[in-house]
Amino acid sequence: MNCIKEAPLIREIRLLAQNLYRLGWDERNGGNISCIMSEEEAESYFDTSKTIRFIPMEFDAGELAGRYFVVTGTGKYFKNVYDDPENNLGLLRVREDGKGVDLIWGYADGGRPTSELSAHFMTHIERLKADPLHRVVIHTHATNVIAMTFVHDLTEREFTRTLWRMCTECMVVFPDGVAVLPWMLCGTDEIGRVTADKMKEFRLVVWGQHGIFGTGRDIDEAFGLIETVEKAAEIYIKIMTRPILQSITDDQLWQIADAFHVKPREGWLEPR
């Protein structure tokens, strides 16, 4: 058996948690990460015939039956993931009936998966339908994204249009825009359901006064989406109280879309 800590996906998650912590987005136990691990990788690093314990779930994850996930633990600090993955991460396999998961590795101190497991699993179900190569869900308390949800209209079109205008790269990175949910109680199946419903059409969902969910085929893609939105939100927060002398027009956003061969979400730019 190879060294688990150095399994490529585990290593990437350790580095991601460290980055998110140092960016100041995941204070204390804020944020959570879940990544699909292929059966081959799971079997090459872990003895998948042995399960440590069964963890029941209220919601039905039957559509993920047999899949392996690396998931951050509830109450755990991103600050500590890098040095101590065995306590802060868990490798889970979803039971055939979808009513729970078997712990294969991790949560060594008796821990459990993130309180947002339903939002993560329901999101994985919807993103896999939209893109069979989908693998990663990251939830983080990106500072300026949260700030923006206090002072900006939460209509998805208007929120996205503002972000697109904040830096030229935005249209290239997220032409499909961001979904936005109003404040809701976190850690519930309900917020999981509405988040996943948005994920049918979006890769990014902002939670008002809380944070953001980003998804992707790998960690770089999911993280890259979030950091681009956060950068745009930071610029918005910096400029919003100042007189604007020039901005990026819809015509210029169309020019970016054409040059980079991306398709802005239908109806979200003024027609040419």
| Residues classed as catalytic | 116
Strands 136-140, 100-106: pairing is unpaired
Shortest Å, Cβ 113 to ligand 2HA: 11
Shortest Å, Cβ 116 to Zn ion: 7
Side by side, which strands form the sheet with 136-140? 53-56, 100-106, 89-94, 68-72, 32-37, 136-140, 211-216, 204-207, 179-181
Backbone angles phi, psi at 179, to 5 degrees: -90, 150
Contact set for Zn ion, span 109-148 (CB under 5 A): none
Name which of 123, 89, 95 is nearest 107 in CA terms: 89
Instruction: Give the binding-site size for Zn ion (rule: CB under 5 A).
Output: 1
Q: Return the bridge partners of 90, or none.
A: 71, 106
- The verdict on 118 binding ligand 2HA (CB under 6 A) reads no
Instruction: Give the binding-site size for ligand 2HA (rule: CB under 6 A).
Output: 9
Contact set for ligand 2HA, span 76-115 (CB under 6 A): 115
Binding range to Zn ion, per CB under 5 A, among 97-105, 127-135, 207-215, 258-266: 207-215
Shortest Å, Cβ 215 to Zn ion: 15
Task: Please name the residue that has the structure tokens 């681009």.
Answer: 228
Contact set for ligand 2HA, span 148-207 (CB under 6 A): 186-187
The residues, any chain, with a CB within 8 Å of residue 241's CB and separated by 6 or more, are none
- The verdict on 32 binding ligand 2HA (CB under 6 A) reads yes
* Contacting residues toward ligand 2HA, per CB under 6 A: 29-32, 115-116, 139, 186-187
